[in-house]
């Protein structure tokens, strides 16, 4: 079972006050400035996003007051019968616009799975990717939802072909999960990829982390089968020891 963390009323109120008091046009707020984050996105009303949206419908990316912090969170929704996005694929995703080809990065994001997270089936491949680090073709690392088993699954694409399945973990609905990725992006064997949930490391890989393209960027939301999830507290930081900085 994955470790879980629920939001207390006091913390929610405090976070909402911080967001309301200091919001800048880049999509970051005082928490980003005070913790030296490269990116902070709280999906707050009236704040322009740095991330772009890859979605084919007017409702595919929305908002909800069921939030991890602040006043609201984002919703990614893909329904049966939805068309493919103009760039290809059945998706309701955010593109983080964070391309890089080397360096140490931390990525933090919170996911919530409502009871109706499984929205059915479409004509896509039988998969649900909620976070991916892109490469030519399939992503080099990706976090998936297995609706049949109600599990999260982490996968790495091998450079020589095939997959490395790095772990599976049960999750519960109607709870927030704080996810963090720690990556040393490189084409050499000195790379590192770690997955944390609720501040605890649950998966680790050492070796080359970049795929055949030699660069990557991140996307999050829904790709594949119809799914509904809530997203909040997206953060990025560089350098060592930044788990607390990218955690709510």
Residue 184, SS3 per DSSP: strand
How far apart CA 76 and CA 61 sit, in angstroms, is 5
Pairwise CA distance, residues 110 & 131, whole Å: 11
Q: Does the pLDDT at position 3 exceed 80?
A: no
- Take residue 48 and report the two structure tokens written for it: 């322009």
Of the candidates 125, 160, 158, 161, the residue with the CA atom closest to the CA atom of residue 141: 158
pLDDT of residue 177: 98
Cα-Cα end-to-end distance for the chain: 21
pLDDT at 35: 61
The structural domains of the chain, ordered by start, are 9-238 (2.60.120.200)
**Position 92 confidence tier, pLDDT thresholds 50, 70, 90:** very high
pLDDT at 205 over 70: yes
Q: What is the mean pLDDT of the chain?
A: 90
The angle at the Cα of 195, spanning 69 to 61, to the nearest 5 degrees, equals 45
At 22-46, the pLDDT tens digits run 333 334 554 544 468 999 999 999 9
CB atoms within 10 A of CB 205: 17
User: What is the four-CA torsion angle of 102, 127, 228, 97, rounded to 10 degrees?
Assistant: 20
Query: What does the pLDDT average to over 90-116?
Result: 98
Is residue 4 scored above 80 in pLDDT? no
Asked whether the beta carbons of 153 and 168 are under 8 A apart, the reply is: yes
> From CA 143, how far away is CA 156, in angstroms rounded?
9
Residue 213 banded pLDDT, cuts 50, 70, 90: very high
Which among 236, 245, 10 is positioned nearest to 107, based on CA atoms?
236
What is the reported pLDDT for 2? 72
Q: What integer pLDDT is reported at residue 11 of this predicted model?
A: 43
Tell me the average pLDDT across 84-92.
Answer: 94
Instruction: Please tell me which residue, 129 or 20, carries the higher pLDDT value.
Output: 129
Residues contacting residue 229 through CB under 8 Å, at least 6 positions apart? 75, 76, 111, 112, 113, 114, 117, 130, 145, 221, 222
Q: Kindly state the average pLDDT of the residues 166-190.
A: 98
Looking at the chain, the whole-number percentage of residues with pLDDT higher than 90 is 83
- The whole-angstrom separation of Cα 45 and Cα 231 is 14
pTM reported for the whole predicted model:
0.88
> Would you say 92 and 78 are in contact if contact means Cβ atoms under 8 Å apart?
yes
């Amino acid at each position: 079972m994955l470790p879980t963390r629920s939001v207390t009323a006091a913390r929610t109120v405090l976070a909402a006050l911080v967001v309301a008091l200091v919001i800048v046009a880049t999509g970051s707020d005082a928490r980003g400035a005070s913790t030296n984050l490269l990116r902070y996105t709280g999906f707050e009303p009236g704040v322009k996003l740095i991330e772009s949206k890859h979605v084919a419908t007017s409702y595919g990316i929305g908002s909800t007051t069921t939030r991890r912090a602040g006043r609201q969170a984002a919703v990614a929704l893909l329904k049966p019968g939805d068309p493919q996005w103009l760039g290809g694929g059945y998706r309701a995703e955010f593109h983080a616009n964070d391309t890089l080809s080397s360096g140490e990065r931390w990525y933090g994001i919170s996911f919530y799975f409502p009871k109706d997270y499984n929205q059915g089936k479409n004509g896509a491949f039988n998969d649900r990717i909620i976070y991916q680090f892109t490469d030519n073709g399939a992503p080099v690392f990706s976090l998936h939802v297995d609706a049949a088993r109600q599990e999260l699954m982490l996968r790495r694409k091998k450079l020589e072909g095939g997959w490395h399945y790095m772990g599976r973990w049960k999750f519960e609905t109607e709870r927030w999960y704080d996810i963090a990725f720690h990556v040393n992006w490189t084409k050499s064997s000195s790379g590192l990829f770690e997955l944390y949930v609720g501040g605890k490391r649950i998966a680790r890989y050492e070796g080359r982390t970049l795929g055949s393209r030699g660069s990557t960027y991140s996307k999050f939301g829904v790709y594949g089968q119809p799914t509904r999830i809530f997203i909040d507290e997206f953060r990025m930081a560089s350098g060592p020891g930044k788990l607390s900085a990218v955690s709510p």
